[in-house]
A and B are shown apart, each in its own frame.
Chain A
């Protein structure tokens, strides 16, 4: 199985900050990576697919990059609504696997 490792596990930041979350795969997954945002008590929401494609309706301050084994999710200017937990997901091969999550909290 492909292991996905996110860093950091927790990130403290302020409104207006630029933040980056990293996701590393245990083997190459090409561009088959998605990012999701989850708020407490809610279902996750798709933000980015195919490593860098923005899902319809997602603000342009979110961006994704990377290929192979290393990927990043960047939020260019944090908004109050962005404080949540973020997960990466690989879908290069079955079983589909998720990273352990990165909790983005208010500093």
Chain B
């Protein structure tokens, strides 16, 4: 079965960096585009970033553009989110999610979600 397991969250001071990882299993990771979606405590969902299955194309939310970098290592079945210049408003649960389309362009429909990792930005 599809499993997405995030790690790397924690408490970090404003301005510092953090890297999230997502270990994928139960499907052909290299065939699927992947996204990060976040949810601030008690708030709604916010899409963060997308990476194509081959890693060539990437898109970002305006709120993280220039600070966050999405990447993947298909040989390790792992998705990453490098977060630099963290701000208090980046505090959220970060979900690693799978795009529903296998190969080709992403569908941008999210069919599997990890359980999330909490990032808290605070001094």
Q: What residues of chain A have their CB less than 8 Å away from a CB belonging to chain B?
A: 1, 32, 34, 36, 38, 43-46, 49-50, 55, 87, 89, 91, 94-101
Contacts and interface: CB of A to CB of B under 8 A. Distances in A.
Contact of B109 (A43, A91, A98): A91
A87 B109 contact: no
Interface stretch (B15-23, B59-67, B76-84): B59-67
B95 A43 contact: yes
A46 B44 contact: no
Nearest to A32: B108
24 contacts: A36-B45, A38-B45, A43-B113, A43-B115, A43-B116, A44-B45, A46-B100, A46-B109, A49-B109, A50-B109, A55-B111, A89-B45, A91-B107, A91-B108, A95-B60, A95-B61, A95-B62, A96-B35, A96-B47, A96-B50, A96-B108, A98-B47, A99-B44, A101-B44
B59 A87 contact: no
Interface of B: 35, 44-47, 50, 59-62, 95, 100, 107-111, 113-116
A95 B60 CA distance: 7
Given A43-B116, A95-B61, A96-B50, A87 B45 contact: yes
Contacts of B109: 34, 46, 49-50, 91
Contacts, number: 53
B48 to A, nearest CB: 9
B115 A87 contact: no
Is chain B's interface secondary structure helix, strand, loop, or mixed overall? strand
A1 B35 CA distance: 18
B47 A100 contact: no
Contacts of A50: 109
Contacts of B50: 94, 96
Contacts of A98: 44-47
A46 B95 CA distance: 14
Given A98-B44, A99-B44, A46 B110 contact: yes
B85 to A, nearest CB: 19
B44 A100 contact: yes
A56 to B, nearest CB: 9
Nearest to A42: B115
